[in-house]
Structure 1
Amino acid sequence: MTPAAGSPLLIYAALAIIALVLLIARYRINPFIVITLVSIGLALAARMPAGDIMAAYEAGVGKTLGHIALVVALGTMLGKMMAESGGAERIARTLIERFGEKNAHWAMVSIAFVCGLPLFFEVGFVLLVPIAFTIARRLGVSILLTGLPMVAGLSVVHGLVPPHPAAMLAVGEYAAQVGKTVFYATLVGIPTAVIAGPLFARLVAPRIRLPAHNAVAAQFTETGTRVADLPGFGVTLGTVLLPVGLMLLGGWADLLSTPGSAANQLLHFVGNSVIALLIATLLSFWTLGLARGFNRNAILRFSTECLAPTAAITLLVGAGGGLNRILIETGVTREIVELSARFDLSPLILGWLVAALMRVATGSATVAMTTAAGIVAPIALASGYPHPELLVLATGAGSLILSHVNDGGFWLIKEYFDMTVVQTLQTWTVLETLISLVAFAFTLGLARML
């Protein structure tokens, strides 16, 4: 749609975000209701035709849930099987033994950085969060001490490192080399994950008081499995990393087989995140279920009862997608493009800035990175900027800044870790902003050295 000429869309968007935070955090109104009402209010203020408002909102919800709902459901079932079989306990014990109890936060950022390479953030999160819960329970520490390093590792590779789709698209837009991009992203990503993960978690975890009982954590940790009955580390790790391997095969399909061939299509199919999780979940019914002595009725009960605590999560994530669509349809992104064009900035700074503005407006790191790359690439190519790989990193760093209530990841973290909106802003939002600023600073440093 085309908003009214001269309408102050950026002001409307800022007021909408402020209203969201106040109504949810200060006045304790149901977040789903608030997001829906604010989305409608923003659309009306921007003079969007009344008949188009709910169609756009529903389209945003549907598009978001079409992927997230499947990922959360399958990932939660796989996590539940890990928990009930004692697999999460086995991985937790092994990591604690290898890293030491005082270094559990380093264990979580390490496994998240490795496992997150081929995974969407949401997929990696639901796969690894049972391990974070289990380690936190065993050590008697806040989930923030293990959970924040985990999400830091996942977020860094999600925003900076190919083969993530947004990073790969940016590589194409900027005509960068994939190998160089991965190398530079690793150089920047590892210290960034360390600073925003274990170091930040150590600082903030003692200052955030969480409820004594977490319903989502309970289903992953309150099991009756004896230590002697725990499954093997190799079997458990192999089961949980199977979707990682399948997605890697999908990403390398065109290198491993002839594009368009039957083998190529098969690799792309099994490499789809939903199919990979489905295969791993079915495998877990055997390796962590039947093979551990559980009957089919028990497996059915596990895979059914674990979905109830995730209902609110998926609903809020969907609502965030609806708000995202309203922000796009009202023309906020176009206003951001026009605003950025008024300033004469270097391509590196422009890539970070445009992605950051898109991220704040739309809530989606993927949308922010792909949109910003499309805007900045012609400018960078015209100016002859010599390091296109660094443009990918700068744009990726900008796309991670300031996650707030219009980002589905915000609600995943809030609900799983049982935090208030204010606590989520103090932890997750600050963590994402740290990643953005630190990664961009390291990228600028690399640019000076090259």
Structure 2
Amino acid sequence: MTRLSVEMLAADAPPPITSAGHAQLGIAVLVGIAVIVLLITKFKLHAFLALIIGSLALGAAAGAPLDKAITSFTAGLGSTVAGVGVLIALGAILGKLLADSGGADQIVDTILAKAGGRSMPWAMVLIASVIGLPLFFEVGIVLLIPVVLMVAKRGNYSLMRIGIPALAGLSVMHGLIPPHPGPLVAIDAVKANLGVTLALGILVAIPTVIIAGPVFSKVAARWVDVPAPDRMLPQRASDELERRPGFGATLATVLLPVVLMLAKALVDIVVDDTASTTQRALDLVGSPLIALLAAVIVGFFTLGRPAGFSKERLQQTVEKGLMPIAGILLIVGAGGGFKQTLIDSGVGQMILDVSKDWSIPALLLGWLIAVAIRLATGSATVATVSAAGLVAPLAADMSTTHAALLVLAIGAGSLFFSHVNDAGFWLVKEYFGLSVGQTVKTWSVMETIISVVAGGLVLLLSLVI
């Protein structure tokens, strides 16, 4: 970023809520993050409460009046929830509809029926990637665990040979591909184009998931050669249904929002005419809100009706889909509040002033900050929203593609080395019946491979586009 652009940004930005110098602001950032990390890891406080207290600690350490720090936090929380809250809710409804109707089971069973032998790990990564598009990571794990255990038992496969590709597919979708909460928040923070981010995210995700999934699973199976745990498999949703949706209709419903958003991004690049009817129409239907809303409404007919759902059952599905996301929305919103407190305290401008003479690329800086916060807090979402808030000013004069790559760099960093402070770590350990050491050798290493490979691919893309 040039000195001129920094000065222009400083002229346009509202005055900070504190007059602290760079050194004090740097200390304030460390204090705020340290408070969040300590509260989450040591005192086991919910991330929502930790982010509120950490934001106030940041403001106090920066010398900001408490009332202004509170105003900054609440403004950031409100704007973040307004920007991504509805999208998260629509994604949760679509995911619940997919699970309850048996549509997810239909995709799984159809692909497994055509796979076998050496192709099975590749089938698992394909299943997880498709299922993982509309589902939150934890929901995806719960949905796919019965399938992973069943395939490993019936085919006499090593559990890692089947489980690692499934976990890799879910994790890559969670960290890199909207409409998952992390990428959505980062897109909102750095003002990136969602369609371009989605297209580049898919481009980065494909080789990443191959390396971290089927390829690494060969190594993981040698390191930890365990069979599927001998226990009762959870009942699948479709086991209670007389019929379920067809494969083609289910797949089309899942991919509908992705296709609409990608079509909008493609037309925006190819057609340079804002008055074009085609471009205006795709700008509407390809917007994230309309694309996801369309998928939900279509899903009522392509998923709910074939499963025999009544209007009352559909209503219950929507309600059940919305209930689990309360915590996620609060964490995402509080992360936005923390981000806004950073910006209003002058931390964003400080990073601009300090980093303009650095030789470190902005994309690498975003990745490193996300890695540090991920290691400290264990939360990919907290790492994403915090890192996005810190480096957002660096995106001000970036091209559309490089702003999208910054989002992906942050998302990649947020997945680095999941360990004992991450709920996902314990979820994988318990479901797969592993020891802590075995979970580190498999799940933690897989997450690190995803982070490093995706981060490297993002940096490579930044050199050629």
Q: TM-score, normalised by structure 1?
A: 0.69
Matched, 1:363 2:384: yes
2: CA distance between counterparts of 1:270 and 1:393?
21
2: CA distance between counterparts of 1:286 and 1:147?
30
- Corresponding residue of 2:83: 67
Spell out, residue by residue over 1:30-61, the C-alpha distance to the aligned partner (whole angstroms, 9 max, x if none). 32222211111111111122221121111221
Shift of 1:15: 3.3
Return 73-82 or 1-10, whichever deviates more: 1-10
- Corresponding residue of 1:382: none
For structure 2, which runs of at least 5 residues remain unmatched after alignment?
1-15, 150-158, 226-233, 374-382, 431-435
Residues 203 and 234 of structure 1: is their aligned pair in 2 closer, same or farther, counting only changes over 3 Å? same
Shift of 1:270: 1.0
Matched, 1:152 2:172: yes
- Corresponding residue of 2:312: 297
2: CA distance between counterparts of 1:46 and 1:111?
48
How do 1:9-408 and structure 2 match up within 5 A?
A: 9-100=25-116, 106-107=122-123, 109-110=125-126, 124-126=133-135, 133-140=142-149, 146-153=166-173, 155-156=175-176, 186=203, 190-197=206-213, 203=220, 221-222=236-237, 224-226=239-241, 229-254=243-268, 255=270, 258-343=273-358, 345=359, 349-356=360-367, 359=370, 363-364=384-385, 371-374=393-396, 395=406, 398-400=409-411, 402-403=413-414
1: CA distance between counterparts of 2:409 and 2:289?
28
Residues 108 and 125 of structure 1: is their aligned pair in 2 closer, same or farther, counting only changes over 3 Å? farther
1: CA distance between counterparts of 2:332 and 2:310?
34
Shift of 1:304: 1.4
CA contact (8 A) 2:77 2:333 kept: yes
For structure 1, which runs of at least 5 residues remain unmatched after alignment?
117-122, 172-177, 208-217, 378-387
1: CA distance between counterparts of 2:291 and 2:461?
36
2: CA distance between counterparts of 1:332 and 1:9?
6
Residues 200 and 153 of structure 1: is their aligned pair in 2 closer, same or farther, counting only changes over 3 Å? farther
2: CA distance between counterparts of 1:98 and 1:128?
26
SS at match of 2:240: coil
Q: Which residue identity is paired with 1:235?
A: A
Q: How many residues align?
A: 400
Spell out, residue by residue over 1:107-141, the C-alpha distance to the aligned partner (whole angstroms, 9 max, x if none). 4644677x79xxxxxx9353787665433222227
1: CA distance between counterparts of 2:329 and 2:191?
27
Q: Which residue identity is paired with 2:172?
A: A
Matched, 1:5 2:21: yes
Shift of 1:281: 0.8
- Corresponding residue of 2:231: none
2: CA distance between counterparts of 1:333 and 1:77?
35
SS at match of 1:126: coil
Residues 245 and 442 of structure 1: is their aligned pair in 2 closer, same or farther, counting only changes over 3 Å? closer
SS at match of 2:414: coil
Return 89-98 or 36-45, whichever deviates more: 89-98
Shift of 1:368: 6.8
1: CA distance between counterparts of 2:463 and 2:273?
41
Spell out, residue by residue over 1:214-243, the C-alpha distance to the aligned partner (whole angstroms, 9 max, x if none). xxxx8x9445434x6232100111111111
Q: Which residue identity is paired with 1:350?
A: P
2: CA distance between counterparts of 1:183 and 1:75?
20
Shift of 1:25: 2.3
1: CA distance between counterparts of 2:444 and 2:31?
19
Identity %: 29
1: CA distance between counterparts of 2:105 and 2:208?
29
1: CA distance between counterparts of 2:85 and 2:297?
18
Residues 331 and 260 of structure 1: is their aligned pair in 2 closer, same or farther, counting only changes over 3 Å? same
Shift of 1:258: 4.6
1: CA distance between counterparts of 2:426 and 2:297?
26
SS at match of 1:231: coil
Spell out, residue by residue over 1:363-401, the C-alpha distance to the aligned partner (whole angstroms, 9 max, x if none). 347667764354688xxxxxxxxxx98x78985664345
